[in-house]
Amino acid sequence: MNRALGLAGVILGFGGALIGIVVLSVGLRTGRGSLLRLSRPYAAVVALGATLAVVAMERALITRDYTVRYVFDHGSSATPPLFNVATLWSALEGSILLWALILAGFTLAVAVKFRRRLEDPLVGWAMLTMFVICVFFFGLLLTASNPFRGVVPPPGYDGPGPNPLLQNHILMAFHPPMLYLGYVGFSVPFAFAVAALMTGRVGEGWLVETRRWTLFAWGFLTAGIVLGAWWSYEVLGWGGYWKWDPVENASFLPWLTGTAYLHSVMVQERRGMLRVWNLSLLCATFALTILGTFLTRSGVVESVHAFSSGEVGPILLGFFAFVVAVSVFLIGWRGDRLRSPGRIDSPISREGAFLANNVVFAAFAFVVLLGTVFPLIVEAVNGERLSVGVPYFSRMTMPIGFAILTLMAVAPVLPWRKATGELLRERLWWPAWTGVATVVFAVAVGATGPFTVLAFGMGGFAAGSALRQLVLATRRQGLRGLVGRANGGMVVHLGTIMLAVAFAASSSYIRQAEFTLERNQTARIDGHTVQYLGARTVERDNRVELIARIRVDGDRVFEPRLNKYRFNGMTIGTPSVRVGPTEDVYLAMTKSPSGGNGAVGIRVIIQPLVTWLWVGGIVMLVGTALSLFPGRRRDPLAPVSEPLPDRAADPPASDDDQVPAPVAGS
């Protein structure tokens, strides 16, 4: 029943998308608007199919219908309800199903948002592109990664449940959907980029249309990545949150190119330049989401996240190659129309800074991509096996991090077109002193290491610039000075700076030790005391929890535990953390007390400022949300020299980036 229902849903989605493609192709070829208008009902059919399939799968998971292969493999009557629902995205087939649902949702959303313009060939081509992506993913669900394959369970069968790592923490219920909303969200701007190339309308119109879609996707991708880091911290038991694992890199790569795009798109909107570059960035971002899925899901790069392997690998790689080929072909084909009319007058200008931003982010993405696939390449070339790990990425990305902080410090105060030294001195005065004050403060409270201290200083400098912009904007416009792209972007910068500072502090000043403690024995580390009080055992449906009771600093008691999962005997630790604004004390049990009464192995990790990683992530999201609100924006059709409407009463503030520079530079 569930199988039939689910399969029907997938077929409905596949068929709807396929017919949608045919109808739209004919419509675009003949220019018949009545056909183009049909994209909305077809999008609805695809969405209906995806919903049906997901509902059927969830129903099968909840009712433990073991005749469905996916439930047979990953379901269990012992899984707690929330994780049972989340089992949908705990393995390959289910996550592709989730992907299909989100993709169908985005397709329908585009059709509804642009319902009055469905006859516009631009929207037509965008819908067509969305349908092509839909066909690919629904096709995957029908073939290589069919979650609704049947199986005859032996009588009394109970499944293993999802991978224990994934049912150990509640964040697993939220991290993948967030990440997928971000990943899949980038298909919308990609679809419009393809549409712009196909129709030859490569001007700025489509950029403005997709601005918010891109921000939306970027926000969710950010949330997904930060939640993933948080999950690592809360579950993996070594106090880390980011280890440049191939799968983390896979989610980070589209984020990097997406971030580059969000910045350089402003140059195009403003000056009509960098068209090829922006299109390439969007195509690269989308292609990297596919490549990321390939890396994650084919098991080609060994990694803790590559839980599954199968025949989807080659198919995903093929689709990646297809996306790249189509993008390159289209951009080459339209090359003549993509010549930008303008030029940048001076490298010391807002557009010069955006260019620098793009070089830095492209370099960042390149380093991450190279480091991720390099072991594969070398092994393929001469059979040599080597690893590219944290030390490589730390060393290579440190200068990049400093470059980004420097740009965040300087770029926000730069005017368009051209800046003079005098102007820079005046505007950077307070931010620079903020940076110096930060350095002095950091050293005063005991910061060591020249690079770390420099990172703090640059962070302070950049924060000073962002705050300066926000203060000026709110002084002029009140609370409206916080919304809109430029101002919301400054809030995002503040969040990024918090992340950067927290990253520098926690990775530089980590202190850790491993103790073996008898009952009531106390150990000291870095001015803290940890005392082992004893252990107890709690039996649950799916696991046995061994809980150690540890008193920290003679005050509160924390309970790190080891969860032994019944089905496969896998033991997963759950650390316990004393969270503080300046410092986290992280306790992980490494060895269970023998016989319940013996000595326990405890790893204690002290890291400063870790909390600010999560706070920074939240601030970034708030900033993204603020950017989604329409600020006071230019009419996209107005020439660059057009003053903003409704500014008539305001005296032109000297450094409002929305005040355009004169055309002739007079």
Q: For other proteins, which is the closer residue by CB, 123 or 247?
A: 247
Q: For other proteins, which is the closer residue by CB, 148 or 461?
A: 461
| Gap between the Cα atoms of 372 and 363, Å rounded | 14
Q: Confirm if 476 and 624 have CB atoms less than 8 A apart.
A: no
Q: For other proteins, which is the closer residue by CB, 304 or 324?
A: 304
Parallel, antiparallel, or unpaired for β 561-565 and 511-517? unpaired
Q: For other proteins, which is the closer residue by CB, 139 or 560?
A: 560
Q: For other proteins, which is the closer residue by CB, 154 or 450?
A: 450
Task: Determine phi and psi for 256, rounding to 5 degrees.
Answer: -65, -50
Q: What is the DSSP letter of 575?
A: -
Distance in Å, CB of 489 to other proteins, minimum: 23
Distance in Å, CB of 610 to other proteins, minimum: 16
Distance in Å, CB of 442 to other proteins, minimum: 8
Residues 363, 570, 615, 625: which binds other proteins (CB under 8 A)?
A: 363
Q: Is 381 in the site for other proteins (CB under 8 A)?
A: yes
Closest Cα partner for 428 from 400, 466, 391, 395? 466
Total residues in contact with other proteins, by rule CB under 8 A: 74
Residues 29, 421, 648, 651: which binds other proteins (CB under 8 A)?
A: 648
Interface segment toward other proteins; rule CB under 8 A; list 52-60, 139-147, 251-259, 358-366: 358-366
| Gap between the Cα atoms of 351 and 271, Å rounded | 9
Q: Confirm if 401 and 455 have CB atoms less than 8 A apart.
A: yes
Q: What is the residue type of 580? A: G
Residues 8, 85, 276, 367: which binds other proteins (CB under 8 A)?
A: 367
- CB neighbour list of residue 573: distance below 8 Å, 6 or more residues apart: 235, 237, 560, 561, 562, 563, 588, 589, 590
Residues 310, 518, 641, 650: which binds other proteins (CB under 8 A)?
A: 641
Distance in Å, CB of 514 to other proteins, minimum: 6
Q: For other proteins, which is the closer residue by CB, 240 or 313?
A: 240
Residues 105, 160, 224, 573: which binds other proteins (CB under 8 A)?
A: 573
Task: Determine phi and psi for 248, rounding to 5 degrees.
Answer: -60, -45
Report 236-295 residues binding other proteins (CB under 8 A). Answer: 236-238, 240, 243, 245-247
Residues 119, 590, 599, 629: which binds other proteins (CB under 8 A)?
A: 590
Residues 108, 250, 288, 447: which binds other proteins (CB under 8 A)?
A: 447
Distance in Å, CB of 150 to other proteins, minimum: 31
| Gap between the Cα atoms of 252 and 366, Å rounded | 11
Residue with tokens 């909390």: 611
Report 295-354 residues binding other proteins (CB under 8 A). Answer: 302-306, 343-345, 347
Q: Is 445 in the site for other proteins (CB under 8 A)?
A: no
Distance in Å, CB of 655 to other proteins, minimum: 13
Distance in Å, CB of 552 to other proteins, minimum: 18
Distance in Å, CB of 411 to other proteins, minimum: 15
Tokens of 562: 């080891």
Q: How far is CA 273 from the centre of its chain?
A: 27
Q: Is 453 in the site for other proteins (CB under 8 A)?
A: yes
Residue 19 has, within 13 A of its CA and on its CB side, a CA count of 15
Q: Is 511 in the site for other proteins (CB under 8 A)?
A: yes
Q: For other proteins, which is the closer residue by CB, 192 or 361?
A: 361
Tokens of 210: 């997709």
CB atoms within 10 A of CB 451: 12
Report 415-444 residues binding other proteins (CB under 8 A). Answer: 432-433, 436, 439-440, 442-443
Interface segment toward other proteins; rule CB under 8 A; list 119-127, 371-379, 408-416, 485-493: 371-379
Distance in Å, CB of 251 to other proteins, minimum: 14
| Gap between the Cα atoms of 294 and 440, Å rounded | 47
Residue 451 has, within 13 A of its CA and on its CB side, a CA count of 15
CB atoms within 10 A of CB 40: 19
Closest Cα partner for 96 from 247, 290, 282, 253? 290
CA angle 183, 502, 413 (to 5 degrees): 80
Q: Confirm if 583 and 607 have CB atoms less than 8 A apart.
A: yes
Long-range contacts of 197-200 (CB under 8 A, 24+ apart): 197/279, 197/330, 197/331, 197/333, 197/334, 198/121, 198/125, 198/330, 199/121, 199/122, 199/125, 200/334, 200/337
Task: Determine phi and psi for 150, rounding to 5 degrees.
Answer: -95, 160
- Virtual torsion, Cα 138, 139, 145, 151, nearest 10 deg: 90
Distance in Å, CB of 375 to other proteins, minimum: 8
Q: Is 387 in the site for other proteins (CB under 8 A)?
A: yes
Residues 41, 150, 318, 391: which binds other proteins (CB under 8 A)?
A: 391
Q: Is 523 in the site for other proteins (CB under 8 A)?
A: no
Distance in Å, CB of 464 to other proteins, minimum: 13
Q: For other proteins, which is the closer residue by CB, 324 or 437?
A: 437
CB atoms within 10 A of CB 527: 9
Q: Confirm if 586 and 607 have CB atoms less than 8 A apart.
A: yes
Parallel, antiparallel, or unpaired for β 528-539 and 571-574? unpaired
Distance in Å, CB of 447 to other proteins, minimum: 6
Q: For other proteins, which is the closer residue by CB, 32 or 511?
A: 511
CA angle 262, 401, 656 (to 5 degrees): 45
Q: Is 569 in the site for other proteins (CB under 8 A)?
A: no
Distance in Å, CB of 371 to other proteins, minimum: 7
Q: For other proteins, which is the closer residue by CB, 374 or 629?
A: 374
Tokens of 386: 């080597």
Interface segment toward other proteins; rule CB under 8 A; list 44-52, 77-85, 381-389, 576-584: 381-389
Q: Is 512 in the site for other proteins (CB under 8 A)?
A: yes
Distance in Å, CB of 236 to other proteins, minimum: 7
Q: For other proteins, which is the closer residue by CB, 112 or 638?
A: 638
Distance in Å, CB of 334 to other proteins, minimum: 21
Closest Cα partner for 567 from 270, 121, 164, 12? 164
Distance in Å, CB of 230 to other proteins, minimum: 16
Report 209-238 residues binding other proteins (CB under 8 A). Answer: 236-238
Q: For other proteins, which is the closer residue by CB, 347 or 596?
A: 347
Q: For other proteins, which is the closer residue by CB, 22 or 359?
A: 359
| Gap between the Cα atoms of 376 and 255, Å rounded | 23
